[in-house]
A and B are shown apart, each in its own frame.
Chain A
């Protein structure tokens, strides 16, 4: 069985009066099983020439209601350059320069397709993304 892990470290020495230091690791497994996720898509890198909304994960291409995970990073360095991330047409949040996200994704297609899209604030912006597929 392939083993895929995701580790996050959140740290700050001055946000609170005491230090914040949190590290946790998840071993990515499938729906209702301890078997690891079965596939990886990417790592991909895309530069969007304009400011149009771009689909990076198409829900109809995957089995829905599974334990997929997605990773997206805004590779830009100009602070105001951002990507608006939507899931199924609903705004999730904004990734500013250097920001990344890691989220579960069930590729739901029972209502609105749960496609993941990114919309750059400026033309010529670059993002990286990948998915782990159950």
Chain B
């Protein structure tokens, strides 16, 4: 896949920089944008999610790096990482240098609250988009066991990395059913921005 560099840069910049609520919400926006353009399909998005979760550091930037790599090689990686990190970093630098505490601005707090609620919705949609192909395909029992393991360990306070490692081991050890609909792309969805 060789996505046009300018478009790629714009999509990553827009979907990461203009999203409140962190990387999970941005990843959902990126999924919609990249799939709408036919640049990636659902299994590729799932692969990018897995790789970004297993990479140290900020997950959304790992998503940008690997997504950019798949779409346009080294140039795509550099463009996506720069697009996903530079504008936000410049805003933070500007605020750190000028404003000081933002807490006193009611407008900022109000916007932040709405941004967080919108981001929570996006994160839930993202979780469902990832889980749906597994839950509707063959081997649902195996999927439910992995979900139960991950949820239990996370809720008792294990770090996400440990949860992922144990879940990965469980995934390898649990018997697999016939491959289900997980390899099929999900239906395209409408784009929504925060």
Task: Decide whether A and B are members of one complex.
Answer: no
Which B residues fall within an 8 A CB radius of A?
A: none
